[in-house]
């Protein structure tokens, strides 16, 4: 057992949420970030889909994302194509973005422990938390902290260890092949649904480093199929030909898991706070959440600083800001998620046909899980028209 470590804030998870919290803590407060991987941003566990305006607002360098101005949707028999001008999508260099976030951490007050697994935690009589972590060589370290941030993703490692919560019982599971882009347009993204990706969806995303990400995600336990089996069938049956994609023999494989459950507005448990995927921040429609993890991670870092400096309402502000942002939209989004997870290929054809009637702004609002009144009414109206016809 190595010597004990002491900090103000222990952050469990070195993804975009945890790194953003650490970068926005006041320099007079010491934090330790525990991350299970040996390198920030590797392996890649997300497709990296996002939006240009959010990357600009967050100050992410433009060379770390690929701008998309053509977004096409495919079902078995239908297509909906959008030339996107007002709210352009983007695809991130995931590793590059994560490492950029890590570079924003202060070397004066932050310690990053890579290749380290969070094991357990308990709260002492003095209110301090005593946590145990283990490095790859088996050495265990005890960390004493005033606060803990659960940024461990779908594992919800801290909440589970302290008996404050548990892992989600419904998750989105995805696999992705990454290979040279070749003749695919570098500004065009594709989302496909139907028989090739039942309960979920597939994607084709060009990256800023001239690669292509071909992925498929499914919802477990809505289906007992693994995304790898679905992807194997996609390749074996030649579905890539429809999109003029040639899959080489050698490719990188990325995979990841995100929660797919109703939004819970409780984020603060005394001096334990959850954020990112541990707080179910990813959008319920397409599971896109890096931009949200960064934004609310930074907010949490600032509010933890205020809390430690004596502001009794700081953590409550973080929780209420998230509730105002997500509770209503994510309620509608999750209802949509549950409904479309049971769609048949024929039902998907009808849905994509209705989607083709939407304006660009209505389409992006649905994908972003921004369910404004006008968007809801328009979607319901198109659905009723389709039924009447």
Beta strands in the chain (DSSP E): 5-12, 31-34, 49-51, 65-68, 70-74, 79-83, 89-92, 110-113, 116-123, 129-135, 140-150, 171-180, 188-192, 201-206, 211-220, 252-259, 268-269, 272-274
Query: Which pLDDT tens digit goes with each residue over 94-142?
Result: 999 999 999 999 877 899 999 999 999 999 999 999 999 999 999 999 9
Query: Which pLDDT tens digit goes with each residue over 136-146?
Result: 999 999 999 99
5-42+96-167+261-333: which CATH topology?
FAD/NAD(P)-binding domain (3.50.50)
Does the structure show a pLDDT above 80 at 380? no
Count of beta carbons in the 10 Å neighbourhood of residue 316: 14
At the second CATH level, the architecture of 66-92+169-259 is 2-Layer Sandwich (3.30)
Q: Given this model, what pLDDT does residue 2 score?
A: 58
Does the structure show a pLDDT above 90 at 383? no
Question: What number is the average pLDDT over the span 31-52?
Answer: 96
Does the structure show a pLDDT above 60 at 376? no
**384 falls in which pLDDT band (50, 70, 90)?**
very low
Q: Given this model, what pLDDT does residue 261 score?
A: 96
Q: Given this model, what pLDDT does residue 108 score?
A: 76
CA dist., res. 151 & res. 182, Å (int): 37
Angle at which helix 360-367 crosses helix 373-388, to 10 degrees, equals 100
Cβ atoms of residues 49 and 187 within 8 Å: no
Tokens 């002492």 -> residue = 124
Q: Given this model, what pLDDT does residue 375 score?
A: 52
**371 falls in which pLDDT band (50, 70, 90)?**
confident
Cβ atoms of residues 272 and 147 within 8 Å: yes
Domain locations in the chain as residue ranges: 5-42+96-167+261-333, 66-92+169-259, 343-388
Whole-number mean pLDDT of the chain? 93
| Mode of pairing for the β-strands spanning 79-83 and 5-12 | unpaired
Q: Given this model, what pLDDT does residue 374 score?
A: 53
Say which residue, 380 or 318, is predicted with more confidence: 318
Q: Given this model, what pLDDT does residue 187 score?
A: 96
Task: Give the rounded percent of residues in the chain with a pLDDT score beyond 90.
Answer: 90
């Amino acid at each position: 057992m190595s010597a004990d470590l002491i900090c103000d804030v222990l952050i469990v998870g070195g993804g975009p949420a945890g790194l953003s919290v650490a970068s926005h803590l006041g320099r007079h407060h010491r934090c330790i970030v525990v991350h299970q991987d040996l390198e920030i941003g590797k392996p890649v566990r997300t497709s990296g889909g996002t939006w240009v305006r959010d990357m600009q607002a967050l100050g992410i360098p433009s060379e770390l994302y690929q701008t998309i101005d053509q977004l096409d949707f495919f079902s078995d028999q239908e297509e909906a194509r959008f030339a996107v001008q007002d709210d352009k999508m983007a695809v991130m260099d995931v590793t590059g973005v994560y490492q950029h976030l890590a570079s924003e951490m202060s070397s004066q007050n932050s310690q990053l422990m890579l290749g380290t697994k969070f094991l357990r935690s308990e709260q002492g009589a003095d209110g301090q938390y005593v946590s145990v972590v283990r490095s790859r060589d088996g050495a265990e370290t005890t960390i004493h902290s005033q606060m803990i941030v659960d940024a461990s993703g779908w594992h919800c490692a801290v909440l589970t260890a302290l008996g404050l919560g548990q892992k989600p019982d419904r998750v989105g599971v995805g696999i992705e092949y990454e290979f040279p882009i070749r003749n695919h347009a570098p500004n065009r993204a594709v989302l496909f649904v139907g028989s090739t990706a039942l309960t979920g969806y597939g994607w084709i995303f060009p990256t800023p480093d001239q690669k292509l990400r071909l992925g498929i995600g499914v919802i477990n336990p809505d289906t007992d199929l693994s995304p790898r089996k679905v992807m194997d069938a996609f390749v074996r049956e030649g579905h890539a030909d429809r999109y003029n994609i040639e899959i080489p023999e050698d490719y990188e494989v990325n995979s990841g898991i995100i929660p797919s459950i109703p939004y819970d507005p409780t984020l603060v448990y005394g001096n334990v706070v959850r954020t990112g995927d541990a707080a179910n921040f990813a959008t319920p429609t397409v599971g896109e959440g890096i931009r949200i993890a960064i934004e609310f991670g930074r907010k949490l870092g600032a509010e933890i600083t205020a809390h430690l400096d004596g502001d009794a309402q700081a953590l409550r502000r973080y929780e209420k800001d998230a509730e105002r942002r997500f509770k209503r939209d994510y309620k509608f989004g999750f209802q949509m998620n549950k409904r479309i997870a049971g769609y048949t290929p024929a039902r998907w054809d009808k849905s994509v046909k209705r989607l083709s009637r939407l304006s660009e702004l209505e389409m992006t609002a649905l994908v972003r899980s921004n369910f404004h009144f006008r968007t809801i009414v328009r979607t319901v109206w198109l659905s009723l028209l389709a039924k009447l016809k």
